[in-house]
Amino acid sequence: MRKEELEEKRNKYLMPCYAHYFKDTLLIERGEGQYLYDNAGKRYLDCFAGVAVVNCGHAHPYITEKASEQMQYLVHISSLMLTSPMVLLAEKLAELTPGKLNRSFFCNSGAEAIEGATALVKAYTDNHQFIALRSSFHGRTLMALSLTAQQSWRGKGPYAPGVVFVANPYCYRCAFKLSYPSCGLACAEDVERAITTCTNGEVAAFIAEPIQGNGGVIVPPKEYFKTVSEIVHRYGGLFLDDDVQCGFGRAGEWFGIQNFDVEPDVMTLGKGIANGLPLGAFISTEEISRAFKPGQHFSTFGGNPVNCAAGLATIEVLKRENLIANSRQVGNLFLARLKELQEKHKSVGEVRGMGLIIGIELVKNKKTKEPYPQGLLQILEFAREKGLLLGKAGPLGNVIRITPPLCFTAENVEEACQIVDAGLREIEKGL
Ligand SMILES: Cc1ncc(COP(=O)(O)O)c(C=O)c1O
């Protein structure tokens, strides 16, 4: 079907809330590795990966083979009967996840994982109060949205009670106007102040993404989570790590939180764990998992054999193709090249990231740090014309989000940086 006809049908039948990137609709027909192809056959280098999902690359032949093979035997039976892929995947996750995390529950998405994990935490602690970070993003279901602190995602409410938001560890725009490390990690200390002033002194959990993705690729100081986790434990609460976006190799380790020298009590996963098939999970320690009695939690499609077979194949591919080490190495190269562009360009306030989750914060002026959201929209369009797909992030709408498939190469980095360099020159004409 022609693009114009599809657009007409889209305008008639899809809800208007669908907001496609780009003024001229991009119709993608095919993907392979780190490349996408539109309806005219034009090739794009993908720095977006379907919002940080397709970590092993588009249409990976082995994952496709394993998922299709499973489809020939059994597509769905529900977790009310035993199937092997979900059990085997839970075993693998117990091996891979840090610390004592060893019990998995499977669902369909990141938001559903957050709903389940927060319910489990409430059942375990017998408390409903959460500490969450400003600029967080945890999904669009009620509890997930109640823990999300970005105006653009929040509607009129009402939201779940008991959520207290604290300043995020965002050194570039520190809420306390301090600098790291002389700040003494004031943002972490503020968690204790929040507990002692905004709660009854007991909490269910502190929840955070290891690196805020949608919130603008915010990388906390190394010791942040350890400090906060100790504080929360002192008040009887748990540390709930939302690794939906950073997990499965994106931040240069199996899980983003492994960059921070701390063990979470509960972890949520989604996005990359089945390389594009819808699969979410939450994982806890043995003891915490027992807070849900048999039959207390359920998801019709959760643990679906096809998606779990894809999850198992994803783990195999990440290992066999060394994609996590690649994410670290190529990510370091990407960061270094982009930092050179930061030196050279007046519109680049900061480049930050870990592995292959990288943000470029655009400003109109480096001294005042006035955000430059118009520049972001312009550079996304410019890059698309040149065959490069970038993402956007940040509550101020001014962060280029770079989350390519983890098979990205040094040559891809060079190609992407040349286009970003030229794009920055373009958007700086208006400054
Ligand atoms: C950190 C984080 N948590 C949760 C979610 C929600 O996941 P989903 O869109 O699959 O519901 C997202 C999605 O972007 C996310 O980035």
* Residue 139 Cα: closest atom of ligand 1: 6
The alpha carbon of 367 and the centre of ligand 1 are apart by a number of angstroms equal to 33
Whether 340 has a pLDDT exceeding 90, the answer reads: yes
**C-alpha to C-alpha distance for 69 and 92, rounded to whole angstroms:** 20
> Which pLDDT score, from 0 to 100, does residue 430 have?
80
Q: Residue written as tokens 């085997």?
A: 88
Look at residues 390, 373, 372 and name the one whose alpha carbon lies nearest to residue 381: 390
| Residue at 130: amino acid letter | F
Mind listing the domains of the chain with CATH numbers? Answer: 3-56+322-428 (3.90.1150.10), 62-320 (3.40.640.10)
pTM (predicted TM-score): 0.98
Whether 348 has a pLDDT exceeding 90, the answer reads: yes
Q: Which pair of tokens denotes residue 38? A: 């539109």
Query: Quick one: pLDDT band at residue 350, thresholds 50, 70, 90?
Result: very high
Using one digit for the tens of pLDDT, what is the confidence trace for 144-201? 999 999 999 998 889 999 999 999 999 999 999 999 999 999 999 999 999 999 999 9
Q: Residue written as tokens 């050279």?
A: 344
> Which pLDDT score, from 0 to 100, does residue 155 have?
87
CA distances from 398 to 14, 242, 347 (A): 28, 23, 10
The alpha carbon of 152 and the centre of ligand 1 are apart by a number of angstroms equal to 15
Query: Following CA atoms 352, 54, 138, 168 in sequence, which dihedral angle do they give, to the nearest 10 degrees?
Result: -10
Q: Phi and psi dihedrals of 205, rounded to 5?
A: -165, 160
> Which pLDDT score, from 0 to 100, does residue 19 have?
87
Whether 408 has a pLDDT exceeding 90, the answer reads: yes
Whether 20 has a pLDDT exceeding 90, the answer reads: no
Whether 1 has a pLDDT exceeding 90, the answer reads: no
Cα(first)–Cα(last) distance of the chain, in Å?
42
* Pocket of ligand 1, beta carbon within 6 A: 51, 109-111, 114, 137-139, 209, 213-214, 242, 244-245, 270
The alpha carbon of 41 and the centre of ligand 1 are apart by a number of angstroms equal to 31
* Residue spans of alpha helices (H) in 151-202: 186-198
Q: Which residues contact 407 (CB under 8 A, 6 or more apart)?
A: 33, 34, 56, 57, 321, 323, 326
Query: Quick one: pLDDT band at residue 220, thresholds 50, 70, 90?
Result: very high
Q: Which residues contact 142 (CB under 8 A, 6 or more apart)?
A: 115, 159, 160
User: How many CB atoms sit inside 10 A of residue 182's CB?
Assistant: 7
The alpha carbon of 301 and the centre of ligand 1 are apart by a number of angstroms equal to 18
Q: Please tell me the residue having the least CA distance from ligand 1 atom 8.
A: 110
Using one digit for the tens of pLDDT, what is the confidence trace for 257-316? 999 999 999 999 999 999 999 999 999 999 999 999 999 999 999 999 999 999 999 999
What's the rounded mean pLDDT across residues 87-92?
Answer: 98
Out of 115, 133, 137, mutate this one to test ligand 1's pocket (max ligand atoms within 8 Å of CB): namely 137
